[in-house]
Chains A and B, each alone.
Chain A
Amino acid sequence: MLQVAASPPLERRAPTFATTRAMADLLHRVAASGDIEAFRKLFQSYAPRVKAYMMRQGADANTAEELAQETLLTVWRKASLYSGDKGSATTWIYTIARNLRVDRLRKETAWQPLPASVEEQASSDPAPDEQLAEAERRERVQSALRELPGDQSEVVVLSYIEGLSHSEIADRLGLPLGTVKSRMRLAYQKIREALEDLR
């Protein structure tokens, strides 16, 4: 019987470090001087991803488009809260999109706040080194995700990209709840090393 493989977790080539640097730079320009041109470039870069994310979460194309607009508007308004030690521009924008989707698509309270600086001492590293470390970490995580067995990457994608709870994943795949959690834990074991922040 022909076994249909689960789709690979990563769907396109990820941006390079140069792009990561460029995005952080754009965000800083927005924060520092309300640079509208920088904001437009951020929009062009991220809106198609946010729209795709919202559609995978169950929004129709129109709603997804509105939510992409709103996400980037929030990025604009909150740009001054962003700093390099809160992660990459992509981390920042993803988190805003994630919270907005909980608030608007599920109409529930988004309990998870935006990233706060976890380190207690102020980071004195110049921004470029932070961005390099972030970009390298993201590549390691993406590499680890690509290597996951299909049944593990499947539950990870259903959780993060389609927004299903464990019980919903269990229902969707016809599995016991314990099996879903077990596969998530196994996936974590494989990715955990890549998740370490090596700074």
Chain B
Amino acid sequence: MTISHHPDVATLMSCAAGSQPESLAAVVASHISMCPQCAAEVQKLEQIGVALFDAIATAPVVREAPVVAARALEADEDGSGGRPAEPGDVPAPLVSLVGRSLDEIAWKWLGPGVWHYPIPLSRRAAGDLRLYKLAPGQAVPEHGHGGEELTLLLRGSYRDEMGEFRTGDVADLDDEVEHRPIADATAGCICLVAREKRARFKGLLARFVQLVTGI
């Protein structure tokens, strides 16, 4: 798999800082599980946090060190070392939420040629995370964004104003950008989309769909 569109370095920094909204963080984590280059980059960017933490003005601690049991050490691996995901499979971080296979998603019909599957976030998390499936040649209704939006291609491809996006590619967009992705004419596509806020769909029909589905 050749990945040519990666998240913006500012996005990777926010990821390394642990400061992304949960929905956006999920997409970055999923991309990283498929992209060793970005995984290594985030590890490097964590060093910014380490350097700042290292030199932070300390706060005096009142309590003593906790009492620890001599042999209560975890021997098991934390399971974070992942192999890059195979094309078409669900990225490792999402497997516990949506299962292993993109072929087993319980899609919900959204409109002609468009299906979606909302992924639950933590109760206090704002924003939106969902999978979309587009039929071949299907366009997503034109929309702008409030805040940031991240799209990760999981299968097939789409083309928009920024170029062609294939499996593993990430579209990293902020609120100024309006784009109209069109799924590949043969294969269609499946993608993971995170938004900080609700998308603003344009046009009366699209707005009606938005009203009905709450996207």
Q: Which residues of A contact B (CB under 8 A)?
A: 9-15, 31, 34, 36, 39-40, 43-44, 47-49, 51-53, 55-56, 61, 64-65, 68-69, 72-73, 76-81, 87-88, 90-91, 94-95, 97-99, 101-102, 106-118, 137-138, 141-142, 145, 156-157, 159-161, 163-167, 176-178, 180-182, 184-185, 188, 191, 195-197
Contact = CB atoms under 8 A, between A and B. Distances in A.
Nearest to A52: B59
A99 B16 CA distance: 10
Contacts of A87: 43, 47, 50
Interface of B: 8-11, 13-22, 24-26, 28-29, 36, 39-40, 42-63, 65-66, 68, 70-75, 77-78, 80-82, 93, 121-125, 147-148, 174-176, 196
A114 B50 contact: no
B28 to A, nearest CB: 7
A52 B9 CA distance: 27
Q: Which of A49, A68, A178 has the most B CB atoms < 10 Å from its CB?
A: A49
Contact of A91 (B25, B50, B56, B70): B50
Contacts of B72: 76-77
Contacts of A72: 65-66
Given A39-B65, A141-B51, A114 B78 contact: yes
Contacts of A195: 44-45, 47-48
Given A106-B124, A159-B19, A80 B74 contact: yes
Contact of A116 (B18, B63, B81, B123): B81
Contact of B59 (A61, A90, A97, A161): A61
Given A65-B61, A114-B78, A181-B10, A11 B56 contact: yes
Contacts of A56: 56
27 contacts: A31-B73, A34-B73, A39-B65, A49-B54, A65-B62, A69-B66, A76-B72, A76-B73, A87-B43, A88-B50, A90-B50, A97-B53, A99-B18, A107-B124, A108-B121, A114-B78, A115-B43, A118-B36, A141-B50, A156-B48, A165-B14, A165-B24, A166-B10, A184-B13, A185-B8, A185-B9, A195-B48
Contacts of B80: 113-114, 116
A36 B28 CA distance: 38
